[in-house]
Structure 1
Amino acid sequence: MKKQLPPGQFETEKWPILHTGDVPEFNEITWNFRLFGEVKEEKSLSHKEIMELPKTISNVNMHCVTTWSKFDTTFEGIALRELLKFVEMNEGVKYIKIYGYFNGDRFGYSANLPLEPLLGDDSLFVYRWKDKNHDWQDIDPKHGYPLRFIPPEVFYLWKGSKWVSGIEFMKVDEAGFWEERGYSMTANPFKEERYR
């Protein structure tokens, strides 16, 4: 995979932990993943159902808005396109919001994204990872266990919701958690789209 350091970034071999709010405890019995919004019929999947879906392994470069970049991390997870098979989207859906836990609210965090760039192998709901310094291991709770979204590298990493809980399908783009607080709606690190 080609390494290109976006402007204003530095390279690190570590995977820094940055988030706001507390770290939730995973309860497999109560955990579920909702697909809702502009769809013909909403769908909810259990953790077992999610983990039975076809897996994708992909090498991803991560770029955080706080200026670090980590190259060549390999993730295993479920490609976003696999989840799309469970719903029939209404005509005109072009955007999604990926929700995650924030301070006791399963849907307290969200990140908005355009749907079209998320249909490849580099758009994953991940549960384990490795790099040149680490063998395969589950992502830990501070990194988003049991399931965390990792976006393609054309988005800053805040678009990668931790402790994911669902996807809302939208016809019109709508600000998520950090976007409401002044961050860029599009968040392309190579264009240095940090703030609105």
Structure 2
Amino acid sequence: MTNKLPPGQFETQKWPILHQGDVYPFNESTWKFKLFGEVKKELELSYQEVMELPKTISSIDMHCVTTWSKFGNSFEGIAFREFLNLIHINDGVKYVKIYGYYNGDPFGYSANLPLNALLGDDSLFVYKWKDEQRNWQEITPKHGYPLRFIPPAAFYLWKGSKWVSGIRFMKEDEEGFWEELGYSMTANPFKEERYR
């Protein structure tokens, strides 16, 4: 799928900034990452514990529902599967919700995704990226610092929660923040699944 422009999209070299609500003011002493839902035992991680997890560098294309696409984005982060390795999920788990801060609420934003689509190197909780000059830098607070989920290119970017706070494991699919407002549950840009 690399460098393939989905229908209704245009290519950009910049990384536009779009988000709902206030920019989260990171506080390492209070920041937590929770793994919960259909799991044998819930787990809560500190920022330091998260940052000690194995790292992955990957190139991921981004497609925003507002019609821009940005190809070949280099990110450094923690693969979704590393969090999955920390817990035992219950039988029948097929979906997740990835949560993020929204106006002060750690679980105010969420995006639903199918679990089996998130097991590769293109499913990252990122903290660094290569900018337009190809230099590594931390992502900015407006882009989701300290940790932002970047979904595989098979999903529109609204599935990429900013200021992430946890993952809930689910047996049944469930609407996230934008899905409750009428956006597509599956969000495949190549099928132009923007709205329901």
Which residues of 2 match residues 1-196 of structure 1 at below 5 A?
A: 2-196=2-196
Displacement of 1:13 in angstroms is: 0.2
Measured against aligned partners, the alpha-carbon deviations of 1:96-155 in whole angstroms (never above 9, x if no partner) come to 000000011010000000000100000000000004524000000000000000000000
Name the CA distance, whole Å, in 2 between partners of 1:134 and 1:49. 28
Measured against aligned partners, the alpha-carbon deviations of 1:5-46 in whole angstroms (never above 9, x if no partner) come to 000000000000000100011000000100000001000010
Structure 1 regions of 5+ residues with no counterpart?
A: none
Name the CA distance, whole Å, in 1 between partners of 2:137 and 2:85. 28
- Counterpart amino acid of residue 124 in structure 1: L
CA contact (8 A) 2:14 2:132 kept: no
- Counterpart amino acid of residue 188 in structure 2: N
CA contact (8 A) 1:75 1:128 kept: yes
Structure 2 regions of 5+ residues with no counterpart?
A: none
Compute the TM-score of the two structures, normalised by the length of structure 2: 0.98
Name the CA distance, whole Å, in 1 between partners of 2:188 and 2:133. 28
Partner SS, residue 33 of structure 1: strand
CA contact (8 A) 1:150 1:161 kept: yes
CA contact (8 A) 1:72 1:131 kept: no
Name the CA distance, whole Å, in 2 between partners of 1:131 and 1:22. 24
CA contact (8 A) 2:131 2:137 kept: no
How many residue pairs align between the two structures? 196
Report % sequence identity: 76
Name the CA distance, whole Å, in 2 between partners of 1:81 and 1:28. 23
Name the CA distance, whole Å, in 1 between partners of 2:35 and 2:20. 24
Displacement of 1:86 in angstroms is: 1.3
Name the CA distance, whole Å, in 2 between partners of 1:80 and 1:67. 26
- Counterpart amino acid of residue 155 in structure 1: F
Measured against aligned partners, the alpha-carbon deviations of 1:72-91 in whole angstroms (never above 9, x if no partner) come to 11000000000011111000
Partner SS, residue 34 of structure 1: strand
Partner SS, residue 27 of structure 1: coil
**Structure 1 residue runs of 4 or more that deviate by more than 2 Å after TM superposition:** 131-134
- Counterpart amino acid of residue 101 in structure 2: Y
CA contact (8 A) 2:2 2:61 kept: no
Partner SS, residue 167 of structure 1: strand
Compute the TM-score of the two structures, normalised by the length of structure 1: 0.98
- Counterpart amino acid of residue 175 in structure 1: E
- Counterpart amino acid of residue 88 in structure 1: H
